[in-house]
């Protein structure tokens, strides 16, 4: 049985948070909202409780979790030898959607870090998440609150879809603010290195840290025998059940809309409102589900709607979804990272490739 606890994200009710915190303290599992996506949390010092997270999600054991702490002052409960540069950084960016990989200490069980000597740590900027960690009194280990390989959950309804009946508690705390996961930076190397683009933009991080290393492979889809820059990243990720294909050129969206008329099964197009308007300009779309993700001029809006768009694709009768490219600047880098992984490297660049795909 899963207990649903509804909590106000602006003014979280203390008693309700306390109930959820009890469950964490007792070794249970709680899905909770953060400013990035929903997390599936357990006591980060309790190996048994954390093993439930892997079972529930069907998550491979070599994919480590993130430790969520209530304040930078908790860092020495989980990390070792935290240097001045890191302390200066967290003073400016926490609470916030930025996760730091640091040397871990021996109180952190192996299962949390998949046996690594480093741990990924962050302090979330969300009153429910912070209140839950504070009241639990322990770091909360949490990956995203979705079944493994599925799109991350950004709304309470998504969490219900994936985890109802599997977790002890789901907190209904409204929609996540950013809609994409935290940015992960490896602070154990010089220069600090981006492991996963996320809600906190590289441009902004560099204002605090100076130049960081952004590996060229960060937005390339990896084959199973490639070595991932961060553990877990080689897996299929964020993926809808239906096939998702990236259109490398916007004109292919128009071509797809025209070709759809003659197809047996409908297709879906995931795009900005500007592209959707252009597609509908003067013609009646047939055999198409349009999934509008937001504005090309406001990629934060697109980020917020992206995983919901992937889930919406699965709810349509479409055979597959075609998604437009977004500018890889600012939060666009994180958006395209999720799109590449969700599409599993499948894309079309020419009209003939598109025709072949739809046949």
Query: For residue 43, which of 59, 30, 60 has the smallest C-alpha distance?
Result: 30
Name which position in 12, 95, 139, 232 contacts ligand AMP (CB under 6 A).
232
**How would you classify the pairing of strands 3-6 and 169-172?**
parallel
What is d(CA 41, CA 31) in angstroms, rounded to the nearest whole number? 6
Stretch that binds ligand AMP, among 62-70, 155-163, 301-309, 336-344 (CB under 6 A): 62-70
Candidates 34, 43, 63, 193: give the one binding ligand AMP (CB under 6 A): 63
Cα–Cα distance, 306 to 312 (Å, whole number): 10
- Pick the closest to residue 122 from 145, 146, 99, 96 (CA basis): 99
CA distances from 194 to 28, 189, 197, 252 (A): 32, 10, 7, 32
Site for ligand AMP (CB under 6 A): which residue of 24, 138, 202, 233?
A: 233
CA angle 282, 286, 288 (to 5 degrees): 110
Using CB under 5 A, list all residues that contact Mg ion: 143-144
100, 121, 211, 329, 332 from 203: Cα distances, Å: 16, 21, 9, 9, 11
Separation between Cα atoms, residue 308 and residue 301, nearest integer Å: 12
Q: Rule CB under 6 A: is residue 183 a binding residue for ligand AMP?
A: no
**How far apart are CB 152 and Mg ion at their closest, in Å?**
5
The answer to whether residue 198 forms part of the interface with ligand AMP (CB under 6 A) is: no
The site partner of 40 among ligand AMP, Mg ion, none (C-beta below 5 to 8 Å per kind) is none
Of the residues 24, 69, 82, 120, which one makes contact with ligand AMP according to CB under 6 A:
120
- Chain positions 212 to 231 lying near ligand AMP, rule: CB under 6 A, are 230-231
CA distance 179 to 338: 11
334 binds ligand AMP (CB under 6 A): no
Among 56, 66, 138, 306, the residue binding ligand AMP under the rule CB under 6 A is 66
The Cα 347–Cα 154 span in angstroms is 25
Q: Does the footprint of ligand AMP cover residue 34 (CB under 6 A)?
A: no
Q: Which does 63 bind (CB under 5 to 8 A by kind): ligand AMP, Mg ion, none?
A: ligand AMP
Among 53, 69, 93, 119, the residue binding ligand AMP under the rule CB under 6 A is 119
Which residues contribute to the site for ligand AMP (CB under 6 A)?
63-64, 66, 101, 113, 116, 118-120, 143-144, 181, 184, 195, 230-233
């Amino acid at each position: 049985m899963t207990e649903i606890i509804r909590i106000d994200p602006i003014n979280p009710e203390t008693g309700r948070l306390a109930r959820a915190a009890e469950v964490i303290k007792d070794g249970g599992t709680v899905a909770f909202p953060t400013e990035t996506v929903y997390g599936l949390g357990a006591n980060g010092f309790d190996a048994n409780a954390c093993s439930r997270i892997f079972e529930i999600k069907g998550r491979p054991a070599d994919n480590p979790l993130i430790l969520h702490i209530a304040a930078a002052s908790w860092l020495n409960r989980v990390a070792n030898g935290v240097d001045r540069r890191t302390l200066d950084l967290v003073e400016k960016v926490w609470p916030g959607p930025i996760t730091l990989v640091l040397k871990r200490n021996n109180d952190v069980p192996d299962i949390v870090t998949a046996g690594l000597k480093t741990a990924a740590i962050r302090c979330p900027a969300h009153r429910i998440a912070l209140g839950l960690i504070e009241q639990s009194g322990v770091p909360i280990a949490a990956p995203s609150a979705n079944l493994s390989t599925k799109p991350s959950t950004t709304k309470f309804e998504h969490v219900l879809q994936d985890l109802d009946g599997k977790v002890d508690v789901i907190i209904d705390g409204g929609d996540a603010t950013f809609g994409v996961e935290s940015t992960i930076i490896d602070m154990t190397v010089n220069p600090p290195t981006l492991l996963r683009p996320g809600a906190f933009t590289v441009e902004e991080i560099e204002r605090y840290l100076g130049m960081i290393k952004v590996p060229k492979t960060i937005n390339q889809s990896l084959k199973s025998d490639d070595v991932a820059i961060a553990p877990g990243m080689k897996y299929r990720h964020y993926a809808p059940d239906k096939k998702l294909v990236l259109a490398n050129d916007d004109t292919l969206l128009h071509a797809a809309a025209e070709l759809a008329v003659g197809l047996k099964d409908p297709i879906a197009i995931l795009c900005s409102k500007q592209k959707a308007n252009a597609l509908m300009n003067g013609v009646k779309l047939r055999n198409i589900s349009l999934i509008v993700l937001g504005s090309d001029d406001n990629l934060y809006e697109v980020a917020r709607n992206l995983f919901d768009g992937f889930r919406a694709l699965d709810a349509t009768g479409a055979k597959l979804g075609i998604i437009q490219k977004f500018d890889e600047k600012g939060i666009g880098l994180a958006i395209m990272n999720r799109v590449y992984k969700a599409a599993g490297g499948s894309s079309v660049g020419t009209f003939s490739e598109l025709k072949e795909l739809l046949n």
